[in-house]
Amino acid sequence: MSASPSEERPVFDRYAEQYDQFLNHALSVTGEDKDFYAAARVRWMTKCLHERGVSPSSALDFGCGVGATAALLLSELKCATVTGVDISPQAVEYARQTQSSPQIQFSLFQDFRPRGDLDCAYCNGVFHHIPLAERQGALRLVRDALHPGGIFALWENNPWNPGTQYVMSRCAFDDDAVKISPASARRMVCEAGFRVLQTDFLFYFPKPLAALRLLERFLHKIPLGGQYQVLCQKPIEG
């Protein structure tokens, strides 16, 4: 999802078919592509869930874009179903054409009706595109899609990392981005009714320093990684 839910002509519509190309161009300075980062995020989320004894059978990919991560959620989390939601009609249509699994469904934001029955939700790099006044509404939609006790993994770009700043400056569709600090992200989800479980940082080393990536398991609490995950939970009422 790339812009405000109320925006009539989503900016990502014009990038849908070339999304991978633009993103890989921006990321090329790290020596990796979007698939490397997407897989690492989902693996980290899966690890965090398993450490908490959570094995979700259903997941929401909020701001699914062209749908590639929905397939990762299916394979890594071993979910029975994944629902992808995005504001861009062209991105959703592209996702439907390229992700053919019957276990994955894609829906436009305005057509999605949360039912409070999903086990977990994943979101990467979406909220820095949503206007400040509309972020709480988007978070409430995620919350309402989860059952009580459901887990939400919010991933955002870390504005404290100089490499992240540079990558975003190279990205064609990040012109409207309003970066979110980890502290602001935690406050944002709490205001929407979530309980923060943990915050982790990832992606400290570019490919030329890949040998040092084994250290990331020990560095994940140091707030300098290129991205961070705020793992939070919808409270269990009563």
- pLDDT by position in tens, the chain (length 238): 444 444 444 555 655 556 677 787 888 989 999 999 999 999 999 999 999 999 999 999 999 998 999 999 999 999 999 999 999 898 899 999 988 789 999 999 999 999 999 999 999 999 999 999 999 999 999 999 999 999 999 999 999 999 999 888 888 777 778 999 999 999 999 999 999 999 999 999 999 999 999 999 899 999 999 999 999 999 997 4
**Residue 198 counted as domain residue:** yes
* φ, ψ of residue 177 in degrees (nearest 5): -65, 135
Residue-range definition of the domain harbouring residue 107: 11-233
**Residue 4 counted as domain residue:** no
Q: Token pair for residue 98?
A: 């390229």
**Residue 191 counted as domain residue:** yes
Instruction: Give the CATH number for residue 176.
Output: 3.40.50.150
Between CA 37 and CA 119 the distance in angstroms is 23
Q: Token pair for residue 51?
A: 């450490």
**Residue 2 counted as domain residue:** no
**Residue 55 counted as domain residue:** yes
**Residue 1 counted as domain residue:** no
**Residue 192 counted as domain residue:** yes
Is 0.75 topped by the overall pTM? yes
- Which helix (H) or strand (E) segment holds residue 152: the answer is strand 146-157
Burial class for 214, CB neighbours closer than 10 Å (0-12, 13-18, 19+): exposed
**Total domains present in the chain:** 1
**Residue 238 counted as domain residue:** no
